[in-house]
Amino acid sequence: MAIRIFITGGTFDKEYNEINGQLFFKETHLPEMITRSRVTPEVEVTTLMMIDSLDMKSGDRELIVNQCNNAKEDKIIITHGTDTMAVTASVLAGKVEGKTIILTGAMIPYKFGSSDGFFNLGCALAFVQTLPAGVYVSMNGRYFTWDNVRKNRETGIFEEIFQATPHTSHGS
Amino acid sequence: MAIRIFITGGTFDKEYNEINGQLFFKETHLPEMITRSRVTPEVEVTTLMMIDSLDMKSGDRELIVNQCNNAKEDKIIITHGTDTMAVTASVLAGKVEGKTIILTGAMIPYKFGSSDGFFNLGCALAFVQTLPAGVYVSMNGRYFTWDNVRKNRETGIFEEIFQATPHTSHGS
Amino acid sequence: MAIRIFITGGTFDKEYNEINGQLFFKETHLPEMITRSRVTPEVEVTTLMMIDSLDMKSGDRELIVNQCNNAKEDKIIITHGTDTMAVTASVLAGKVEGKTIILTGAMIPYKFGSSDGFFNLGCALAFVQTLPAGVYVSMNGRYFTWDNVRKNRETGIFEEIFQATPHTSHGS
Amino acid sequence: MAIRIFITGGTFDKEYNEINGQLFFKETHLPEMITRSRVTPEVEVTTLMMIDSLDMKSGDRELIVNQCNNAKEDKIIITHGTDTMAVTASVLAGKVEGKTIILTGAMIPYKFGSSDGFFNLGCALAFVQTLPAGVYVSMNGRYFTWDNVRKNRETGIFEEIFQATPHTSHGS
């Protein structure tokens, strides 16, 4: 079955507006990236919105939830701004079941030479095919479960909130 | 534990020689790609050789086998030319056990604007963290087990040799 | 004799700050561009400031004037934000004599894939070698004398203020 | 009046063939480069041939001569492989008069990230607007008259055959 990609905007898809010198949203680069990646799994791309994740409101998240529930696919990638990616993941976790959902994004816009976006899309596409049903964030070459991830605003790096305890003490 | 990346060359790392107009190998671009990807899993890169996979001989493959067996890591990515990637995968499958090994490469050199290499590295890094021990080829956004993969030379696309039988015989 | 390049900032040299999502100045890309261009004329690069041209004050322009007068070279390129490039050109025109000075910039930062900056540098380098002493703006593949140029803010295109009258009628 | 650009091929326009791993010619990138450069002078692009300049024969050069003579424009840029650029320049010099003709090319294909091609186009466009009638080669940020230029095959750099004598001795 096809993999569904929902676009919500974020740094990933920002363009440079040469008239006013601001970054803005025009169209998603996902179709161009899909072509360039030469993927053979069938991929369906739908743009839900094109916004900064700091501007995402609860109504926007409800829309994403509904789209995930209504999608016929059970493997879903969501491109999303990094700042509130973990928030949307936690909203989805309570309301969508039986699907593997990967949220991903980029620290640098795809159109910048140094962007991590194309790499991140590769990670997300691989994780969505191999992880069991659940909601995950994929950034920095890793995946995180929705309930144990945050973006470190100072470093720009995604990290776990709680470190796994390597040796569970027993008997105490 | 760290992820090991072994470099063997292939299209991935080809450069343009401006003196003679030929493509050639200089140095691997993997360290630059790792930096750009902002990965947090620890990654160790070792260049084993820098050759076209059509020039790879059995001695070269023995070297790769030995390096995989001697590596302390049990998650290994091998960058490799696409033409004989499946051959090397089958050699590794018989001689390395208990490790997840992903072979990947690129159809277009990383230094070309349209390269698939950075995306493929993302896929490989995700698959090596999620697939069970075994030898796999990752290209075109998919993974293939070593015993059921070939490169279609006419299309440049990796595909399964045997299609999975969708309807298992009934009545037996 | 060498060609002098003075850096003042502008869109040309803007980078993307991945922590706060803003465009900012880090270091000039000119040395990298010079290497990539494979130019053989000797080129000396000096960074005078790294600012938006809308933030440029009269003291900044005095500094540029002084640097142009003090430079031993008589061929000078100045990289500059596009918004007030014509203003700086007119200040220079009254205060620097006997030198060919070309102001240039970019509509899109060099680090964006679609930047015009590298092309514009080529134009500026060619114009500075062929035009007589004077102060010029070079953008959009053309050169303009300092007293007949403006940036059209709506289109982002540089244009003449006064059209040359092609056929001056006399005697009729 | 418009500037005419004649395409003849060369490194400039080479693409990577992902099926056989060879460099080849598909279509010229000039229209894309013209758009990206945001030039306002009117530019007309015509593809005459798409070949390596080492494969260029006298018939091909006759075709170029005829096209230059028949063009209504008197400012002409010719994109050309670097290896025999000087040969074509010398053929043109004897057979086209009253026009400014600039031959240029690239050491690295435009589609490679490190290409000098876009810069070289900027130089050529500026030189064609400022140099008097004659045939010139523009590479490495300079221009050369047709009768005093060669490509140094070892360094890949264009240079003068005869150095200008800086102090002409008099009286001896």
Tell me the pLDDT tens digit for each residue of D116-164: 999 999 999 999 999 999 999 999 999 999 999 999 999 999 999 997 6
pLDDT tens per residue across span B48-59: 999 999 999 999
- Of residues A36, A124, A141, nearest to B41 (C-beta): A141
| Shortest Cα distance, chain C CAs vs residue D48, angstroms | 23
Return the partners of chain C (3 or more C-beta pairs < 8 Å): A, D
Which among B124, B125, B157 is the nearest to A40, CB-wise? B157
Query: What is chain D's mean pLDDT, rounded?
Result: 94
Q: What is the 3-state secondary structure (H, E, C) of B106-169?
A: CCCCCCECCCCHHHHHHHHHHHHHHCCCEEEEEECCEEEECCCCEEECCCCEEECCCCCCCCCC
CB D137 within 8 A of CB D127: no
B133 touches chain A (CB under 8 A): no
* C21 contacts on A by Cβ (under 8 Å): 11, 23, 52
Write out residues 32-91 of D within 8 Å (CB-CB) of B. Answer: 52
State which residue of chain D sits closest to C139, comparing Cα positions: D39
User: Are B107 and D18 inside 8 Å of each other by CB?
Assistant: yes
* Interchain CB contacts (distance < 8 Å): B and D: 41
What was the ipTM of the complex prediction? 0.94
Q: Is D156 on the interface with B (CB under 8 A)?
A: yes
pLDDT for D39 beyond 80? yes
Non-local CB neighbours of B7 within 8 Å, separated by 6+ positions:
B13, B28, B30, B45, B46, B47, B48, B49, B50, B79
Nearest CA in chain C to A116: C18
Say whether residue C98 is in contact with chain A using an 8 A CB cutoff: no
What confidence category does residue D167 fall into, taking pLDDT thresholds of 50, 70 and 90?
low
| Closest chain C C-alpha to D86 CA, distance in angstroms | 18
CB-CB: which of C126, C129, C141 is closest to D41?
Answer: C141
- Summarised one tens digit per residue, pLDDT across range C126-143 is 999 999 999 999 999 999
* Nearest residue, CB atoms, A16 vs list C19, C108, C155: C108
CB contact under 8 A, C113 and A111: yes
> CA separation (Å) from A6 to A66, A76, A103, A147, B100?
12, 7, 9, 21, 31
Pick left, alpha or beta for residue A93 (phi over 0 → left; psi -120 to 50 → alpha; otherwise beta).
Answer: alpha
Which residue(s) pair with D11 in the sheet?
Answer: none
Res. B171: pLDDT tops 90: no
In the block, tokens 């990290």 appear at A159
pLDDT of residue A172: 40
Q: Is A11 on the interface with C (CB under 8 A)?
A: yes
Spans of chain A, pLDDT less than 70: 164-172
Q: What is the pLDDT of residues C73-102, one digit of tens each?
A: 999 999 999 999 999 999 999 899 999 999
Quick one: pLDDT at residue C167? 54
C144, C146, C152, C157: CA torsion to nearest 10: 30
**B131: contact with D, CB 8 A cutoff:** no
Report DSSP letters for chain A, one per residue.
-PEEEEEEESGGGEEE-TTT--EEE-S-SHHHHHHHHT--S-EEEEEEEEE-GGG--HHHHHHHHHHHHH-S-SEEEEE--STTHHHHHHHHHHH--S-EEEEE--SS-TTBTT--HHHHHHHHHHHHHHSPSEEEEEETTEEEETTS-EEETTTTEEE-SS---SS-----
CB-closest option in B19, B113, B153 to D113: B113
**CB-based contact, A23 to chain C, within 8 Å:** yes
Task: Determine the Cα–Cα distance for residues B32 and B29; give it in Å rounded to an integer.
Answer: 5
DSSP single-letter state for residue D68 = H
Contact D137, D86 (CB under 8 A): yes
How high is the pLDDT of residue B120? 98
Q: Please enumerate in sequence order all residues whose Cβ is within 8 A of that of C47, keeping only pairs 6 or more positions apart, or say none.
A: C6, C7, C28
Q: What is the DSSP letter of C110?
A: T
- Report CB contact under 8 Å: D119, C159: no
Residues of C within 8 A of D139 (CB-CB) are 38
Cβ-defined contact of C114 to D36 (cutoff 8 Å) = yes
- CB atoms < 10 A from the CB of D107, how many? 24
- Number of Cβ within 10 Å of residue A125's Cβ equals 28
Substitution target in C11, C13, C112 with the highest count of A β-carbons within 10 Å is C112
